Chain A
Amino acid sequence: MKYVGIVGSNADLSYNRYLLNFIKKQYSDLFELDIVEIKDIPMFNQDNDQTNSQPIQELNQKILAADGVIIATPEHNHTIPASLKSVLEWLSFKIHPLENKPVMIVGASYYDQGSSRAQLHLRQILDAPGVNAIVMPGNEFLLGRVKEAFDENYNLKDQGTIDFLQSVLEKFNAFVSLVNRLETPEDKPLPEEDLYSSEPIASTIEGVDMAAEDWVEQAAEKVGAVEGDTYVKLNRGILTVDQINTFLASMPMELTFADENNQFLYYNYTKEAEDMLADRVPGQVGNPLVLCHPEAALKNVGWVVQQLRAGNQDVVRIHVPTHGPDKFVVHNYQAMHDEEGNYRGINEYILDFKPIVDWYLKQTGLKLEGDIDATSGASQAEEVEVDAGSGASVKS
C-alpha cells in the first residue's frame, strides 16, 4: 500500500507532523507513507484560480496515485486550521483527487481533546459532494496532551498508544482494500449453463433421443437432411455436401460444433478415438455436453461456455502438454456469433501446431527460447531475438 500523509497545519512547529513522521517510521512494514506539507498552498480564493499552480498540482498528482490518504489535523477554534480547509477547497474546486479515495483521520492537540471536534468537522467536510472522499468510519485516533506524548526522539512514549495506533492502521489497510472492491464494478455472477440442453432452440431437432448412438441417422431422417451430391448454398459459394465434408476433413485440426443450447452437433470425423488429440466417437454426436465430459470436468465446461456466451472472452484456450514435447497441443474454444452478433455456440478446434512452428522457425532462422533443439537449427542463421509481440516465444 502507498499512502499520502497530509500535515494539516502550516505551522513551523507541529505535533501532527511529528505524529505522521512517527507513523511513517514505526509502521513501515504496513505501508509506504509519503508525507506532504501544505504551507506553500495559497489561501483559496475563487477569484484567483491557482489550481494549475505547481504546489497544488503536485499534491493532486500524489493523491491520485496513492492508495489512500492519512490526514493529521490539529484543532484551532474547535475546527480544522484555515490552511487545511483551504487545501480541501482547492481540491474540490476544479479538481477532485479525493473523490472515492479512502481517507483516515488522525489528530494531535495540546489539551485532552486531541482534536476531537476538528476531526468531526473534517469528516463532514470530506463528505461534501465536491470532495467525496470515503472516510474510514469509527477508529478515531485522538492524541491529547502532545507535549507529554513524545520522547526526545519524537517517538510516542506510551506502548498502549503505539499498539492501538497499529491496530487502527491495520484496519485502514483492510478498509482500503474494501473500498477498492467497492469501486471496481462487481462481476455479476453469470447464469448457470444448462449442459443438459434442455431448452430447445429453433434449430434443435426435437423428438429424437439426444443420447442415442444413432442420433445422426434418426435426426437426419426426421428433418430430411440433404447429403451426397446435393448442392448447398453458403456464404459465399455453392458446394455439394460431399465437398463440404472433404473440405472439413482436410482441416489440420479436430473440429467440433456445439450449438448455443450446449448440444454437440458435429465433429469432422476422420480418425478413430485412439488416434485423436481429444477423443470423440461417432455415437456421441447429438449428446448434450453433460454426456460427453467426465463429471469432474463439468464445472470447467460450464465456466468456459459462460465466458463465451457472456462475451467476456472471444476464445478460451487450454494448452495440453500431456502429449509430450513433440506436440504443441492447444484446445481452442471459439465463440460463434450470427450476423446480428447473437451467440450461436462453440467452435472447438484442437490442433498440434508444432509442425507449423517448426516450419516457420526453419524458414526464418528464429528460435524458441528454451527449445532443446534450438542450437541445431540456428547454425545456418544468425541468432535472432524473437519479438515478444509475435507471440512465438514459448517458455518450456
Chain B
Amino acid sequence: MKHLIGLVGTNSSQSTNRKLLQFIKANFQKEATVELMEIKDFPVFNKPADSVLPEIVQEAAEKIEKADGVIISTPEYDHAIPAALINALNWLSYDVYPFVDKPVMITGASYGTLGSSRAQAQLRQILDAPELKARIMPSSEFLLSHSLQAFDEDNRLKDSEQIEKLSGLFADFLVFVDLVNQLVQAHESNKKEAANFSWENI
C-alpha cells in the first residue's frame, strides 16, 4: 500500500485544510495510508550560513523522502499561499531536496467562493522551482469553497459530488505516483541541478 504525506499548508490551529486532509486520510484508508504533517513549529527561515537544518526540518525531509507522494492542502492568504507554507518549502529545499521528482497533488480550501484558486496556481509555480522540482499532478484541481460549511459533525464532506470528485482525483494520483516512478531518466540530473543550486557558488 502506498504511503502519502498530507502537508497541512498553514500554521493556524483552526484550519479547514487540515480537516480536508483528515477526511482524505479517513476516507481513502483502504487505498493508501496518509500521514499528516504540520508546519507550525518550523522556525523562521533565514538562509543560515552554516546550512545546519533544525531537527524538525530534518525529520520532515526524511519523511517526505520516504513517502510515495505528498498531498499539499493550502489556504489562500492575499492571493498567495501562507508565509508559513512558503517558509516550510524554503527549508525543505535548502541543502535537502526531498521534493525533487516527488509526486505532489494540490488541494485547497477557502472560506469564500474561490477555494484558494490563486494560491494553488502560485504553489504550482513554486513547486516547479529548481530546488523543489516536484512532479505535480497535471490538469487536476480540487478547490473546496465555503469550507466552513463543507463538513458535517463527523468531519465528512457533506457534498457527495465533492466526494466523488475527490475520489477520482485520489485514484488518479495513485496512478500518477506509479507513472512518475517510471520517469527516471531525468531524475539524476534533476537531483544534481537542485543540489548545485547554491546561492553563493555561482
Interface string of B72-94 (1 = CB under 8 A from A): 00000111101110110110010
A80: which B residues are within 8 A, CB to CB? 86
A88: which B residues are within 8 A, CB to CB? 78, 83
Question: Quick check: which of A37-45, A258-266, A272-280, A282-290 contacts chain B, the rest being far away?
Answer: A37-45
Q: How far is the CA of A85 from the CA of B44 in the complex (A)?
A: 12
Question: Quick check: which of A54-62, A120-128, A170-178, A196-204 contacts chain B, the rest being far away?
Answer: A120-128
Closest B-chain residue to A84, C-beta based? B83
Interface string of A53-89 (1 = CB under 8 A from B): 0000000000000000000000011111111011011
Which residue numbers of B lie inside 8 Å of A, CB to CB?
A: 11-14, 40, 44-47, 49, 77-80, 82-84, 86-87, 89-90, 93, 118, 122, 125-126, 128-129, 131-132, 199, 202
Interface string of A74-107 (1 = CB under 8 A from B): 0011111111011011001000000000000000
A127: which B residues are within 8 A, CB to CB? 79
Q: Which of B49, B83, B132 is A82 in contact with, Cβ under 8 Å?
A: B83
Q: Which of A77, A121, A130 is B93 in contact with, Cβ under 8 Å?
A: A77
Q: A42-B44, A45-B40 are in contact. Are A131 and B78 (CB under 8 A)?
A: yes
Q: Does A376 contact B (CB under 8 A)?
A: no
The A/B interface has a contact count, at CB < 8 Å, of: 105
Do A89 and B82 touch across chains, with their CB atoms under 8 A apart? Answer: yes
B122: which A residues are within 8 A, CB to CB? 79, 121, 124
Q: How far is the CA of A86 from the CA of B12 in the complex (A)?
A: 13
B45: which A residues are within 8 A, CB to CB? 81-83
Q: How far is the CA of A136 from the CA of B159 in the complex (A)?
A: 43
Which residue numbers of A lie inside 8 Å of B, CB to CB?
A: 10-13, 39, 42-47, 76-83, 85-86, 88-89, 92, 110-111, 117, 121, 124-125, 127-128, 130-131, 147
A47: which B residues are within 8 A, CB to CB? 11-14
Q: How far is the CA of A11 from the CA of B49 in the complex (A)?
A: 9
Do A45 and B12 touch across chains, with their CB atoms under 8 A apart? Answer: yes
Minimum-distance CB pairs A-B, first 7:
A82-B87, A86-B83, A128-B78, A85-B83, A82-B86, A78-B129, A128-B79
Q: A77-B126, A81-B86, A128-B80 are in contact. List 18 more A-B contacts (CB 8 A).
A: A11-B47, A43-B44, A43-B83, A44-B82, A44-B84, A45-B11, A45-B12, A77-B132, A79-B126, A81-B90, A82-B44, A82-B90, A83-B45, A85-B83, A86-B87, A92-B78, A117-B125, A125-B79
